[in-house]
Amino acid sequence: MLKTLIVDDEPIARKVLREELEPFADLEIIGEAEDGEDALKKIYTLDPDLVFLDLQMPAMGGLEVVRNLRASAAPLIVILTAYDQHAIEAFEAGAVDYLLKPVSEPRLKKAVERAVGLHSRRDAVSEQVSKLAAVAGPASYPTSRKIVGRSGPEYILLDLDEILAFQAEGETVWIITAKKRYQATQTLREIEARLKNSPFQRVHRSAVVNVNHVRKMSAMSSQRWLLTLTNSLELIVSKRQAHSVRHLLQW
């Protein structure tokens, strides 16, 4: 059975879809989410196989949720929308299927059948989420974008403004804030790719820094710099990234 999560900001829409999905023997409804942030939390905690995802939601829409997913561990996605153009674009990009609201029974059945057929193909799941993320695009830096951090069994959604840096220690990536650090759910390379057109700058192979939180830059040599962040954390800039720090000095 496919563990299934329903994501829609309208309570009635969630209720109706749940009732329509419950007769399918191949599905087990494990939860609902009322917005994008709630969806991310439940995807990481409940680990669904399939997500019915509404595209148009306040603050964080469906494609923004997709941008936050790690392709190697992402669920199958079925897009929900009232707008045909958006749905077709998402479907062509790699969603399992798209459903126009109000959802018809034959189309819902077809979407479920497609999802069941793809479930055993992990490569297909990763591919469809990667394509959806590409359609979502890097976008310019929005204040509403969130980063998922783990603290013990809990998953925390962090605003970019409160993050000072990302620091890798072996296979683990830490999200550094003023008072605490959280374990990231993505690799440093994946995080850096998501943060294009934002205040974050790679300064070392193991560190990406929010330049708005750089308090002091000290020259250690002609090609070595020491950055001090607003929480007093010190990070050494690699020779390869020294030009980026010189660029900061021109601001």
Predicted pLDDT of residue 114: 87
In a domain, 148, yes or no: no
181 and 105 belong to one structural domain:
no
117 and 166 belong to one structural domain:
no
Predicted pLDDT of residue 209: 93
In a domain, 141, yes or no: no
Predicted pLDDT of residue 139: 42
pLDDT tens column, 132-167: 555 554 444 443 467 888 888 788 888 888 999 999
Q: What percent of the chain has pLDDT over 90?
A: 31
Structural domain boundaries, residue 216:
159-248
Predicted pLDDT of residue 142: 41
Distances in Å between the Cα of 223 and the Cα atoms of 10, 203, 219, 220, 233 are 55, 12, 8, 8, 20
132 and 218 belong to one structural domain:
no
In a domain, 142, yes or no: no
What's the domain count of the chain?
2
113 and 212 belong to one structural domain:
no
Whether the bond between 106 and the residue before it is cis, its omega within 30 degrees of 0, is no
pLDDT tens column, 21-80: 999 999 999 999 999 989 999 998 999 999 999 988 877 888 788 877 776 667 889 988
- Please give the Cα distance from 89 to 95 (Å, whole number): 9
Residue 79: DSSP 8-state: E
Q: Tell me what the mean pLDDT of segment 10-19 comes to.
A: 92
